[in-house]
Structure 1
């Protein structure tokens, strides 16, 4: 079992039980400043009193600054969490009260999983739940989510926020209403997973068939099995996080920061009002790191394994160390998978759109014709090597463009803008010094495999360098602008003064 003294509870962790979730949740709540305050505690208990249920009464008024009932915050919160350990409705009531008082929906997510688990225990025995959990232990969270959505009726509500893993998703389906066919969603879900995972199909069919027989639903299950036979998991798109920095227009060195994020197959990330704020240049790095850190904490591990962070930047910010901004927000053992720079200036030049798309198509076509390097070949950045001029001359499309100096310099800025106006979709440079060593390293990276995999090669090279003790500047500050016209920016609201941005 997971140690209850571990970090904040993860609803998708397969080794947690109801008791594990409750203990870890109690520790998390006990460290919340609002719930540690007398006013916050009174608000919570007053809210619970109105909802009813087996919850402790509100404490008596306190003398001075001490606790009203003399109990330590950890003790009284532990008592509160334990009080909802038997009934799903009580767990939901406490979760609703926490949402109302703290205004932090993520804080009570483990309680939602507890409620689902308690409901599941009224429908299945612990032995059956353990067996089912074992069958699904190797199913990735994104596959579970896709199968769950496929088995639900058209226009059914999305999975709730606490379904961040395979097991929470499975438990939640036990609470959903019967399908129009009369089949429980859980059994339809298992049939869809069986169709998508042939290696486990026999075991999943056997478990679902046994329960269908117990519940008198054999015919309904067989019909579902036939209908689900052609189910194929949708192609998974990477988790995409976009930071857009718009010049303020009123104050110098101030930018309007907007953030979008897309997880899995969600094609249209939604912008929330609170995602927009005015940020000074000096606060960009900590603000971006804080936003990204929060998103990482709220996102399932399966999504983080394939993550891309895009920075849509105006020309004055195009040479900022965005890789370092991301490094501040991620663990050293899990650096950002891919970090890309996108140009906002390109979107403001309508006359280059056709050239941009044509050069992108040419780059992707050349990528398809290129042969991948041997798996054992490592890409390295040489220290004292002259650029391979013959290799440079042989690149017919001249994509990616390699800058001769950083875009923060006059020469580099002119070359960058010229490449942009000519529709170049990919531009490579070194943030500090586009030296001969960098030029050679860039040519090696470009020629090491298909061009469409260039962002992955750069990410792998930087990750390897991050783990090493060397200080190779040709690797540390290598930067790629990668403007894919098929992955564009979501529609922006009309730009207004930062003081009005929050009400958009």
Structure 2
């Protein structure tokens, strides 16, 4: 009896019962589940995720209660995902949470394949390690899957993850396309037996689903590698004040590499001391580079900063700081800052959208506004009035840096944010520096501001060329650019209060 026939011996009920038991096995090993206080916190969050209260554990034996709770969650749409996500709010990326996500993917794959026993594929697919899996997943999903979660470290986990992924009418499902690609890889590596097992399973599934033509078309279609895209990838990093301790922040991040649309992938939220932010940013940049090793697009770093950090020279923070020659972020990336306050203040969004449309749709009629504060208090009022009346004013040049103690730069920036100006430029130390005025005049010579990022990068590169001993004397070292696209927004950062990072 071959592997495909053997798989039919395990019926759908047994497959689901074994998965339920496996989920409970993992939960029983979780410190959160074993301890009453943390368990209650988890159950509260789970009830909120499910929009239905969860019965607390009051008995003597934990396993029967867990079995019942898993059964309840599995009967609700996305219920098991809610279970794991709420546990992740307490434990973050613990081994238990990773194992549970693997089981959730398997559960959903079993449902997608109508209760089929998939274990005949497991040993073959688990022999394929993480190298190259993201590229195969992108190709199998027609680029709908841009990244793989951390727990997808074998071809088995990727197959489970892709099962049920959206496919257009007339397309081979991504999971079957992935198996075909892995089979081709086995052939190339001289493993014909493994390749034939996958192909046979695929043929049976395609026949049962009436997808013979789609399978044939997939196999006959010549793969054309994606061309280099000019649409940038983004790593967005957000610092949110703790609200209680002024020295601590919640750091969230998102990765966006889909050149066909805006689909940012959220990461964890961590709670850090102000002094630890640069180190965490360095870790996130390195992590993104590992995930994007085969990416052909340029990469932009965006920092979503609260008011008190807007003048922080984040583009000069380092990567590879453990080496003898750390590299400033600005050497490898275009770095922009954005305003957390504007992102969160919905009442500022209408003029923001209007000014952005002006910049995008009528670039020839767009221009910058240079702040020149007068001597009386009314200047700031009239600055905001003029910016709101002049729809073509899409860039504001500050006369002083925010946070310098004078309040001038802060109030000018506030006027700009309220009036919807999407671009703001300033010198982090001295906006009256003649070199700064010359640099900004050159940067803004394109009325449409279409080359704002590129021209700013040119001045920063001139500073880099002087090296660490000389770049502080160059204006490019001190240029700050806030560029806010209201259509390019991150998703929710997760729980409002993430656990402390240890």
TM-score for both structures, normalised by structure 2? 0.50
Select 1:298's aligned residue among 285, 290, 298: 290
SS of the counterpart of 1:479?
strand
* Match runs of 1:6-405 below 5 Å: 145-150=137-142, 185=178, 222-224=216-218, 238-251=232-245, 253-265=246-258, 267-272=263-268, 275-279=269-273, 281-289=274-282, 291-296=283-288, 298-303=290-295, 306-326=298-318, 332=327, 335-367=331-363, 397-405=392-400
> Does the 8 Å CA contact 1:312/1:341 hold for their aligned counterparts?
yes
Show the counterpart of 2:452: 454
Query: 2: CA distance between counterparts of 1:162 and 1:493?
Result: 19
Show the counterpart of 1:444: 442
Q: Kindly tell me: are residues 444 and 102 of structure 1, through their superposed partners in 2, closer, same or farther at Cα, counting changes over 3 Å?
A: same
Show the counterpart of 2:491: 490
Q: Displacement, 1:311?
A: 1.5
Q: Kindly tell me: are residues 415 and 143 of structure 1, through their superposed partners in 2, closer, same or farther at Cα, counting changes over 3 Å?
A: same
> Does the 8 Å CA contact 1:338/1:459 hold for their aligned counterparts?
yes
Q: Kindly tell me: are residues 226 and 328 of structure 1, through their superposed partners in 2, closer, same or farther at Cα, counting changes over 3 Å?
A: closer
> Does the 8 Å CA contact 2:426/2:479 hold for their aligned counterparts?
yes
SS of the counterpart of 2:361?
helix
Deviations 1:282-314 (A, max 9, x none): 44334433x335424633333486222222112
Q: Displacement, 1:479?
A: 0.6
Q: Does 1:473 align with 2:469?
A: no
> Does the 8 Å CA contact 1:142/1:264 hold for their aligned counterparts?
no
Query: 1: CA distance between counterparts of 2:176 and 2:264?
Result: 32
Query: 2: CA distance between counterparts of 1:235 and 1:490?
Result: 23
Q: Kindly tell me: are residues 147 and 315 of structure 1, through their superposed partners in 2, closer, same or farther at Cα, counting changes over 3 Å?
A: same
CA RMSD in angstroms, aligned pairs only: 5.4
Q: Displacement, 1:250?
A: 1.9
SS of the counterpart of 1:301?
coil
> Does the 8 Å CA contact 2:228/2:297 hold for their aligned counterparts?
no
Unaligned runs of 5+ in 2: 1-92, 100-120, 164-171, 189-194, 204-211, 367-389
Query: 2: CA distance between counterparts of 1:220 and 1:396?
Result: 52
Q: Displacement, 1:437?
A: 1.8
Q: Displacement, 1:262?
A: 1.2
Q: Kindly tell me: are residues 103 and 481 of structure 1, through their superposed partners in 2, closer, same or farther at Cα, counting changes over 3 Å?
A: same
Select 1:412's aligned residue among 409, 412, 428: 409
Query: 1: CA distance between counterparts of 2:230 and 2:296?
Result: 13
Query: 1: CA distance between counterparts of 2:486 and 2:429?
Result: 28
Q: Displacement, 1:189?
A: 8.7
Query: 2: CA distance between counterparts of 1:303 and 1:349?
Result: 34
Q: Kindly tell me: are residues 230 and 429 of structure 1, through their superposed partners in 2, closer, same or farther at Cα, counting changes over 3 Å?
A: same
Query: 2: CA distance between counterparts of 1:491 and 1:233?
Result: 32
Query: 1: CA distance between counterparts of 2:464 and 2:221?
Result: 49
> Does the 8 Å CA contact 1:343/1:483 hold for their aligned counterparts?
yes
Q: Kindly tell me: are residues 277 and 148 of structure 1, through their superposed partners in 2, closer, same or farther at Cα, counting changes over 3 Å?
A: same
Corresponding pairs, count: 324
Query: 2: CA distance between counterparts of 1:324 and 1:403?
Result: 21
> Does the 8 Å CA contact 1:240/1:262 hold for their aligned counterparts?
yes
Q: Kindly tell me: are residues 408 and 157 of structure 1, through their superposed partners in 2, closer, same or farther at Cα, counting changes over 3 Å?
A: closer
Query: 1: CA distance between counterparts of 2:319 and 2:241?
Result: 24
Q: Displacement, 1:238?
A: 3.4
> Does the 8 Å CA contact 1:406/1:413 hold for their aligned counterparts?
yes
> Does the 8 Å CA contact 2:338/2:482 hold for their aligned counterparts?
yes
Deviations 1:329-379 (A, max 9, x none): 696398341211111121343332111110111112244789xxxxxxxxx
